[in-house]
Amino acid sequence: MAKPKEPLSTFKELISEIETCNICRAQLPFEPKPILQVNPKARLLIVGQAPGRKAHESGKPFDDASGNRLREWMGVNRELFYCSDLIAIIPMGFCFPGTGKAGDLPPRSECAHTWRSRLMAQLPSLETTLVIGQYAQNYHLEKKYQTVTEAVNHWRNSWPKLVPLPHPSPRNNLWLKRNPWFEEKLVPVLKKRISSIISE
């Protein structure tokens, strides 16, 4: 009788499957290049939309101006941000979806349907998940809110397990200007929470 697979072996096989995924190949502007950061030990999860053009080129998630602002909100440096033992980064779509008239296109829906539940099952140590933008919030908050503003404004309802955030893109400067309460009230509490997680 064969022995059951070890969890780590199962995890490595899953990552190997993801790295060679080509489900959306015909719909992508470039060859598939899944970009994520994941480790079963991670205690903090960042859920974004999909890699941008710069992240696609570098192979690192949030390797752009959006990442700089997100790290600022979190109160972490670049080195800590890319420490997979602490922080997992799993976007709703793993590959750069291309650019439309108003910015990057939405993440391909096939990605979440195919991989998300399997990946989440491999992260038993998560304490807090940052849920960034409309697509991530619709999935993780089960379409409870009509807009990103409404979701972020009700952050206390899912705190500290799920923390809805606006997208940190420079395109959102106007949103931040119109909603100063976000950086005044939520960001300081978020920094304190993350500091407590990474210092355990």
pLDDT tens-digit readout, 20-37: 999 999 999 999 999 999
pLDDT in tens, 85-130: 999 999 999 999 999 887 889 999 999 999 999 999 999 999 999 9
| Residue type present at position 189 | V
Count how many Cα atoms sit within 13 Å of the Cα of residue 19 in the half-sphere of its side chain. 9
Structure tokens at 57: 């080129």
Q: How far is it, in rounded angstroms, from Cα 95 to Cα 89?
A: 13
Please report the pLDDT score of residue 7 as a whole number: 57
> How do beta strands 44-47 and 128-132 pair?
parallel
Q: How many CB atoms lie within 10 A of CB 20?
A: 9
Per-residue pLDDT of 1-22, as tens digits, reads 444 445 566 999 999 999 999 9
On the question of pLDDT at 191 being above 80, the answer is yes
Q: Which residues contact 78 (CB under 8 A, 6 or more apart)?
A: 71
Per-position DSSP letters for the chain, written without gaps between them: -PPPPPHHHHHHHHHHHHHT--TTGGGSSSS-----B--TT-SEEEE-S---HHHHHHT-TT-SHHHHHHHHHHT--HHHHT-TTTEEE--SSSS---EETTEEPPPPHHHIIIIIHHHHTT-TT--EEEEEHHHHHHHHTTT--SSHHHHHHTGGGTTTTEEEE---SGGGHHHHHH-THIIIIIHHHHHHHHHHHHT-
Average pLDDT, the chain: 94
Reported as a single tens digit per residue, the pLDDT across 52-61 is: 999 999 999 9
Helices 65-74 + 187-198 axis angle, to 10: 80
Q: How many Cα neighbours within 13 Å face the side chain of 3?
A: 5
Looking from the CA of 164 toward its CB, the CA atoms found within 13 Å total 26
Percentage of the chain exceeding pLDDT 90: 91
Q: Would you say residue 195 has pLDDT above 50?
A: yes
- pTM score of the predicted model: 0.93
Domain annotation for the chain: domains and CATH numbers: 30-96+103-198 (3.40.470.10)
Yes or no: say if 139 and 54 are a contact pair by the CB < 8 Å rule.
no
Give 137-163 pLDDT, tens digit per residue: 999 999 999 999 999 999 999 999 999
What pLDDT does 4 receive? Answer: 47
Q: What is the pLDDT of residue 130?
A: 98
